[in-house]
Amino acid sequence: MDFSLNQDQQDIREAVLKHCSQFPDEYWLEKDRSGEFPFEFHKSMAEAGWLGVAMPEAVGGAGLGITEAAVMMQAVAESGGGMTAASAIHGPVFGLEPVTLFGTEEQQKRMIPPILSGEEKMCFAVTEPNTGLDTTSLMTRAEKVPGGYRVNGEKIWITNAHVADRMLLIARTTPLEEVKKKTEGLTLFYCKIDRKSVEHRLIPKMGRHAVGSNMLFITDLFIPEEDRIGEEGQGFKILLQGLNPERVLLGAEATGLGRVAIRKASKYAQERVVFGRPIGQNQGIQHPLAKAWMQVEAASLMVFKAATLFDKGLECGTEANAAKYLAAEAGFEACQTAVMSMGGMGYAQEYHVERYLREVMIPRIAPVSPHQIMNYIAERVLELPRSY
C-alpha cells in the first residue's frame, strides 16, 4: 500500500501546474464573463501533448493510465481553471476510450489523432430530455439504411456540442419491444456533426459559462457504417467501459477545485484584518477550512484508489462511484466554506470562489447524480433490494 504519487506522477502534476500558470485567474474570469470557449487553453494543452495522456502510443498518446490522467485533471482544476478548464479538455482525455477498446485499427488511426492534436473537438451525446438517468430507455433511433444508419432524436446537456466536430452518440437500433433486456439494441457511433441535420441550442445555466451545454435536435442524420463503434446492439455495454474512468476523472477535478478554493480562502483569511487581527485567527474561520481540507484530501485518496484499481485491470465500480460522490460533495463543501470564510468578498467575482461554487455543482450532478450513486452502493455493496 503506497499512498504517494511516484516521481513520474509528481512530475506530471508539476508540469501541468506550470503549464496552466500561463492561464491566470483573470483569464478564467474573463472567459466566464464572455462565455467564449477557452480555445487558447485547449490548443496549448493539445500542442503540449497533454490530451493524449491516457491514450495508446500507437495512436499518438502517451500510453499512461487513468491514474496519470487523474493527476493531470486534478492539477488542471487546481490551477484555478476549475471545471471550465477541465471540461474544455475532459472529452479528449477519456472520451475515446470506447474507440481504443472496441474500434478497429482503421477507426483508431482515423478518429483519435485529430482529437489529440486539437485539430478536432468532440462531445459525448448520451442524455435525453425524456429519459434522463434511465439511459436504456433512450429514444433516439438509428435506422439501418444502405451504407449506414439514419438517426432521429433529441439529446440534452451535450457539453461542447456547439464547438465540436464529432460526437460519440448512443442510439437505439432495435426497438425496446423487440429486445430481451433493455441494455440490448443500443448502438454506439463516433460521427461527424453534420450541422444540416443536427441543430444545437445552448442551455442558459448556472456556471462554467465558457463551456456550453446544448440541446440537440437530430433530424435524418446519416452515419456511415464505418463510424459505428463495436457491434450493432452492443453500445450500452461498450459505453459502460468508459463510466468508471469518467467518474474517476470528475472526482479528480472536483478535488482540484476544492483545493484551490481552500487555498484562496486561507490566503484571504491571513490577510484580511477585522477587529484588529486577521480573520483567520478565529477558530470559527479556521475550523470549517480545516474540515474542508480533510474531506477533500480523503476524497482524493478514494479517487486514486479507484484509478489504481482501474489501471491494474481490477474491478473498481464501487470505488469509482464512491470517489465521484465523495469528491463532489467535499469539493462543494470546500467551495461553499471558501465563500463563507471571505464574507462579502466571497461573493465578488474578482475573488474567484463564487465561480468555483457555481462550477462545483457540475460534478455533483453529472455524469451521474449523488442519489444514483447511493442507490448503487445500497444495492451492490450493501445488497439491499432495488428501490425503483
Ligand X SMILES: Cc1cc2nc3c(=O)[nH]c(=O)nc-3n(C[C@H](O)[C@H](O)[C@H](O)COP(=O)(O)OP(=O)(O)OC[C@H]3O[C@@H](n4cnc5c(N)ncnc54)[C@H](O)[C@@H]3O)c2cc1C
Q: Which three cell numbers stand for residue 368?
A: 451521474
Of 1-9, 72-80, 344-352, 361-369, the window that binds ligand X (rule: CB under 6 A) is 361-369
Sign of CA dihedral 144, 149, 150, 154: positive
Q: What number of CA atoms fall less than 13 Å from residue 255's CA on the CB side?
A: 28
How does DSSP classify residue 153?
E
Q: Does 372 bind ligand X (CB under 6 A)?
A: yes
Q: Which residue is nearest to ligand X (CB)?
A: 132
DSSP 114-130: HHHTTSS-EEEE---TT
Q: Does 158 bind ligand X (CB under 6 A)?
A: yes
How do strand 141-145 and strand 198-202 relate by DSSP bridges? unpaired
Q: Which of 369, 376, 377, 378 binds ligand X (CB under 6 A)?
A: 369
Q: Which amino acid type is present at position 76?
A: V
Q: Which of 190, 223, 362, 363 binds ligand X (CB under 6 A)?
A: 362
Of 8-16, 59-67, 73-81, 127-135, the window that binds ligand X (rule: CB under 6 A) is 127-135
Q: Which three cell numbers stand for residue 25?
A: 485567474
Q: Which amino acid type is present at position 325?
A: Y
- C-beta closer to ligand X: residue 135 or 341: 135
Q: Which three cell numbers stand for residue 261?
A: 478554493
Report yes or no: 317 and 323 within 8 Å, Cβ to Cβ: no
- C-beta closer to ligand X: residue 8 or 134: 134
- C-beta closer to ligand X: residue 309 or 373: 373
Q: Which of 127, 234, 266, 336 binds ligand X (CB under 6 A)?
A: 127
- C-beta closer to ligand X: residue 214 or 336: 214
Q: Does 132 bind ligand X (CB under 6 A)?
A: yes
Q: How far is the CB of 39 from ligand X (least distance, A)?
A: 18
Number of residues that bind ligand X (CB under 6 A): 21
- C-beta closer to ligand X: residue 16 or 368: 368
- C-beta closer to ligand X: residue 245 or 288: 245
Taking the C-alpha atoms of residue 254 and residue 373, their distance in angstroms, rounded to an integer, is 16
Taking the C-alpha atoms of residue 187 and residue 94, their distance in angstroms, rounded to an integer, is 19
Q: How far is the CB of 258 from ligand X (least distance, A)?
A: 18
Taking the C-alpha atoms of residue 289 and residue 20, their distance in angstroms, rounded to an integer, is 25
Q: Does 43 bind ligand X (CB under 6 A)?
A: no
Q: Which three cell numbers stand for residue 184?
A: 440490448
Report yes or no: 24 and 81 within 8 Å, Cβ to Cβ: no
Of the chain, the end-to-end C-alpha distance in Å amounts to 38
Interaction pattern, residues 182-221, with ligand X; x per rule: CB under 6 A: -------------------------------x--------
Q: Does 136 bind ligand X (CB under 6 A)?
A: no
User: Residue numbers of the site for ligand X (CB under 6 A)?
Assistant: 123-127, 132-133, 157-159, 213, 362, 365-369, 371-372, 375, 388
